[in-house]
Structure 1
Amino acid sequence: MSVSTVRSLPLIHLALLFAAGALLAISSELPLSGYIHILLLAFVWRVCAKGAEQTLVRLFNQGLIFGLGYFIVALWWIYISLHDVGGMSTLLSSFAVFALAGLMAIYVGLAFGCGLLITNPLWRGLALPSAWVMAEYLRGQLFTGFPWMGLAESQVHGPFIQIAPYLGGLACTFLVVWASWQISLLKIRNALAVLSVIAITQILGMWQFTSPSGSAISVRLIQGNFEQSLKFNPKEILRQIDFYRDTIMKAPADLIIVPETAFPWPEHDLPDQSLEQIQNFANQSGSQVLLGLIGKVSIDEKSFRYSNRVSGFTKDQSRYHYDKYHLVPFGEFIPPGFQWFVDAFKVPMSNFARGSFSQAPFTVLGRDQDPSKARYAAISICYEDIFGNEIVSRLRQSQNPVNLLINVTNLAWFGQSQAPMQQLRLSQLRSIETGLPSLRATNTGITAIIDHRGEVQTALDQFVQGELTGLVQPYAGQTPYVIWGNWPILLASLFLLLSAYLRFRK
C-alpha cells in the first residue's frame, strides 16, 4: 500500500475496517458466529461504500486493511510456536505473524477490489461473492496453500451449512458474502431474498447422501497432554513413549488412536521394543491401533529420509503406513531461501519426505477380524484436514469406499489459544461435506468424536491427560461434493465474475 493511498483514506475509515476484521475473527469463537459474520460483513460493505469515487487500488487497500485485522487476530497463535516454543526473538516472531497475516490479507484485498469495482448493485451482489470464492480458492492453492480461517468454518454454526454436502465450503463462503451484501442495502426485498435462500438451504439439508454401514465401532482416543518443549528432551521423550505404549495396552477396543508424533522418535530406532509390544497386544486382544511416529522412507539403496507417519497395527497382519502428504512449510520442509528463518527457530526441525497423494485407507476390521465386515478410514495428519478438496479427491480415488475420517494432530505448538477450536470446526466441516463421521486424536486437545452431520458427540477437555472412549457409527455413500469437488462453485463463480465485468465494460 502506498503512503499517498493511505493518506487518501480517512483514518477513521481505516480504523473501522481494521476493527471490523478483528471483530470478525473474535466472533468466530461465539455460538452464533455464522450469523454474526454476515452482519459484520454487511457493516463493512456500508463502510466501503462511503467516501470518494472508488478505484481498484483504493478498494484493494480497504480489503488489505480489513484482512490484516482479521488474520492478525485469527493467527496470533503462531507467535506462541515461534517465540514460546521455538525461542525466536519477540521482534522476529511478531514480524512472522504480521507477514503471514499480510500475505493472507492480499487475497481479501483482491476479493474487495475485483468485487466492489462493479457499481451496479445487482451485479455487485454477484461479483463480490464470486471474487471472494476465487480468492479463497487461490489462498488454498498458491505457495502450498493455507486456507485456514475461511468464512465457511463459521457456518458450522450458521444458516448456510446445509449447502456444504452439495457444493462444499466455498459455496458456504459464496452465500455468506452474498447475504451480507443484500443486507447492507437495507431494503426489505433484499432481506426477504436472504430469508428465502436460507429456507431453501434448510430444505436441502433434509436429504441424506450417506447411510449407516454395519455396526458401531468402539474407539479409544488417547490424549497425552505433553508440552511441546518436552519433545526435545531425551528423558521426556522416553516418558512420553512409555505413557502412550502403556495406555494403549491398558484396555482393548475395536480401534485405538494416539496423536501425531506420539512417539517422537524414528520408527526403526525406538527403544524397549515398544512397537513389538503394541503388535503383540493387537494380536492377543484383536484391537487395532493407529500410532503417530517418525517414519523412515527409502530414497535409494544408500539413503533415506524421515516422514511424519501414522502406523496401523492389526492382528497377524503387516503394519499399515500413512505418510503425511501435505507438509507444513518451515515445520516439515524448508522453502528455498528460508534456511535463515529456520536457523532462528531454536528447536530441531525436519525436512520430511512427502507421502504419496493416493495412499490406501486403513482397513478397520474390529475385534471380530471379519474381512466381510471391513470398513475403511481415510487418515490425515495435522493441518491436512483444512484442505477439503484434497480429502474428497482422495475419497473419489480410493479403491475401497471410505466410511470414516481420522485426523491425528499435535497442537501443543500453539499453547492456550483458539487454534484447537479453529481446527475442530474444520473437522466438523469435513464431516458435513463428506457425510462421514470423524475421529480426532490430539496431544493437548481437542480430542473428539464427530458424527456424519458434523455434530460433536463427545470430546475431552483441553490440557488434560486422559482418553476418550465411545462408539462411532461408520457411514457409506458419497455426497455430491465428494463426486464433483469444487468444480461447480468455481465454474459458477468464474462465469458470474466474467459476466459482471462484461456488463461493467458496456
Structure 2
Amino acid sequence: MNRGHWAESGARGLETYAAWLAGRRLAVRMGLALLAGALSALAFEPFSFPPVFFLTLPSLVWMLDGVAPAGRWAARVEGVSGGDGEKARFWRPFLSAFAIGWAFGTGTFVLGLYWVAEAFYVEADIFGWMAPFAVFFLAVGLGLFTGLSCAAARLFWVGGYGRLAVLAVCWTAGEWLRGHVLTGFPWNTMAQGAVASEAMMQSAALLGPYGLGFVLFLAASGLAAYDPRLAYDPRLAYERSALSRALWQAPMAALLVLALLWIGGALRLATAGDETVAGVRLRVVQPNIAQDQKWLKENRTSIVGQYMRLSAAAPADFTHLIWPESALPFLLEREPILRRAFARLLEPGQSLILGAVRSEPAGEPGQRDRYFNAVHVIGEDGDILATYDKAHLVPFGEYLPMQGLLEAIGLQQLTRLRGGYESGPGPMTLAVPDAPAVSPLVCYEIIFPGAVTARGARPGWIVNVTNDAWFGTSGGPYQHLAQARLRAVEEGLAVVRAANTGISAVIDPYGRLLGTIDIEKEGVLDRPLPKALAPPPYARFGDWMLVLMLFAALSLVLGREARSRG
C-alpha cells in the first residue's frame, strides 16, 4: 500500500470519526467531552501518560466543529455547519461551545482532583459528608474556565490549521486566568504533563508553564488540522488530495515540534553541571505522622521526641535542618524551653528551618488572637532569627470566604481554627546563617508560577514545607511534587521539599530529583545544596513572552483569514 493510498484511507477514516463527533446532538457531545476530559487526566501524576492528549484534544476540536458558525470570524464553511443547525441565534453557538468545553474541563478535574476528597475523611465524622460535593463543585467551577476558553475560540473559529491556533490561544489564556482569578488554582495545566520527561520540561525555563502549555496544546491537537468540513464546500476548491495531505502533514509537524523541544531539553541537561554550595549540607526530616494523630495532646511529647531522634541520626554532619509544615503541635514562640532543647540539638554553625503555627495576641479586649501558618529560621542558640507567614492560604482549608457569615451558620474550615488563619504579606527572601538567602513557601504556594520569589531580591534556593498527610497515598502528593519540579526549572533554583508524610525531595535547578523519601515513610534525606543558575528567561521576564506568543499566533490566523475573505 503506497503512502498516497494510506493517506486517502486514513483521511476517510478520520473524516468519518470527525463528522460523527460533529454531528451528534449537543447532549451527546457533552457526554463525549466529559469522557475525553476524564481521559485527559491520565496525562498527570500518578499516571503520567501525556500522549493521551493526542486523542482527546483533536476530539475536542472536532466536537467544536459541530457548533453552528458564529461571529465575524466564524468558519468559512457557514453552509456546512454541524448538528446545531445553520440558523441558530447569534448566542447559541457560544453557549454550545461553552457547554462542550465545560464538560471536557469538568471531566478532567473530576478524575485529576479526586484526591481532594481524602482531606474530608481525616475527620470523617465531621467533614466526610462533604467529600463528594467538594470534588464535584471544585471540578464544575474549574471547568468554567475551559468552557469560557472554548466559547471565546468560537468567536474566531476558522477552517483547517487556523482553528487549532485559535483554540490554543484561548485555552492558554483560560489556564492563565484559572491561575489568577479568585486567588487562583493553576493545578494540572498542560505544562504539568511535561514533567513526565525531564528533557521536555526544560522548555519551561524559556517559555514558562503557560507558554510551554501553549506549544504542547498546538502539537497535541495537530491531528485535528485535518478539517473534513472543507471537503464538502464547493466554494473553497479544497481538493481531496490536499485534505489527505493534511492527515499526515500536521501530525508530522507536531512531532517535529515536540522533537525539537526534547532535543533542546536533552542538550540542556547534557551540559548541566552538578555544582553545589560549598559548606552547606542539608538534612530533610520526614516524620510520617498521620494527620488524625498530629494534634492530639497525648502525642505531643512523642512527636517532639521523634523529630529529635530523626534529626540526630548519624552522621550528624548537617549544617541546615529542615522540618515540614506545622511540624510541632505547639506555638513555638511561646515555648522557650522547647527552643532551648533545639539549641542542644544544634551544634555551632547549624540552624533549623521549620514550619510552625504562629500567633499574635489580640490588639484589643474581646478580639481573638491572630494565627499564621509560618516558617521559622532558628539559630544554634534556640532564638527565632527570621519568620515568614504564608500568604496564599487554601480556601475552605485554612480560611472560609466570608468567614464570619459562614461560621455563624455553623460551617468551619478543615483546620477547625475558629476565625481561620491570617495571610502574610507575600513572597519574602529570608537570611539564613551560613547559607544563601532562601525563599520559604508553605504547602501549595509552590504551585503558583512567577510568584515563588520576592521581586528584587532573588534567593539562592527555595524551601517548600508541606503537609500532604491530608491526602494519603492518592495522586495529590505526586502532582504537588511535579509542580515543585516545574518551579525549579522556571526559576533556575534548587527546591528543597520537606513533607510530613511525603514526598520529601531535593530538586536541582533542572527539575531533577537528587533524592526523595517515599510517601508514608519515616526517614531523613541528607544532600548538599545545589547551586543556583543564572536567572532563566522566564525568571527574568515572566509571562511577557507568553503574551507575545499568543498575540502573534492570533494575529497571523486572523490576518490570513481577513486576506482570504477580502
The two structures share one fold, judged by TM-score above 0.5 = yes
The alpha carbon displacement at 1:499 in A equals 6.6
Indicate the residue corresponding to 1:4 in structure 2.
none
- Show the 5 A alignment for 1:110-149: 110-117=148-155, 118-149=157-188
Partner of 2:89: none
Query: Which residue of structure 1 aligns with residue 15 of structure 2?
Result: none
8 Å CA contact 1:450–1:456 kept in 2: the answer is: yes
Give the drift of 1:422: 0.4
Q: Does 1:166 align with 2:222?
A: no
5+ residue gaps, structure 1, are 1-7, 366-373
Distance in 1 of aligned mates of 2:125 and 2:167? 42
* Post-superposition offset of 1:307: 0.6
Q: Is the 8 A contact 1:213 1:476 kept in 2?
A: no
TM-score, normalization by structure 1: 0.87
Higher mean C-alpha deviation, range 33-42 or range 297-306: 297-306
What are the residue-to-residue correspondences of 1:25-424 with 2, within 5 Å?
25-29=41-45, 33-50=49-66, 51-53=82-84, 55-85=93-123, 87-88=125-126, 91-117=129-155, 118-158=157-197, 160-186=200-226, 187-205=247-265, 206-207=267-268, 212=275, 214-215=277-278, 217-250=280-313, 251-270=316-335, 273-282=337-346, 284-297=347-360, 300=363, 304-315=369-380, 319-336=385-402, 337-339=405-407, 343=411, 348-349=416-417, 351-363=420-432, 365=434, 374-392=435-453, 394=454, 396-398=455-457, 401-424=458-481
Task: List per-residue Cα deviations over 1:338-376 (Å, max 9, x = no partner).
Answer: 4368726676225222212242234251xxxxxxxx422
Q: Report Cα offsets for 1:371-429 as digits up to 9, x if no partner.
A: xxx4222110000000012115x2x421xx42212111001111221100000100111
Identity among equivalent pairs (%): 27
CA contact (8 A) 2:42 2:50 kept: no
Q: Which amino acid aligns with 2:450?
A: N
The CA distance in 2 between the partners of 1:358 and 1:382, in whole Å, is 13
Q: Which residue of structure 2 aligns with residue 3 of structure 1? A: none
Select between 401-410 and 50-59 the one with higher mean Cα deviation.
50-59
Superposed counterparts of 1:478-493, under 5 Å: 478-493=535-550
Three-state SS of the structure 1 residue aligned to 2:135 is: helix
Q: Residue 168 of structure 1: SS of its match in structure 2?
A: helix
Which AA in structure 2 matches 1:49? D
Which consecutive unaligned segments of at least 5 residues does structure 2 have?
Answer: 1-23, 67-81, 86-92, 227-246
Give the letter aligned to residue 216 of structure 2.
V
Letter aligned with residue 339 of structure 1:
E
Letter in 1 for 2:278: S
Instruction: Compare CA radii of gyration and give the structure with the larger one.
Output: 2
C-alpha deviations, 1:75-129, integer Å up to 9, x for none?
Answer: 1222221244353465533122211111100001112222244123232122111
Residue 453 of structure 1, CA deviation: 1.2
**What is the SS of the residue equivalent to 1:439?**
strand
Cα distance in 2 for partners of 1:424, 1:340 equals 37
In the TM superposition, residue 73 of structure 1 has moved relative to its aligned partner by 1.1
Q: Report Cα offsets for 1:179-226 as digits up to 9, x if no partner.
A: 122222352221232233224334543457998464373221111111
Give the corresponding residue for 1:5. none
Structure 2 CA distance for aligned equivalents of residues 436 and 89 of structure 1? 38
Q: How many residues align?
A: 486
CA contact (8 A) 1:160 1:175 kept: no
Q: 1 or 2 for the larger relative contact order (CA 8 Å, sep ≥6)? A: 1
RMSD (CA atoms): 2.9
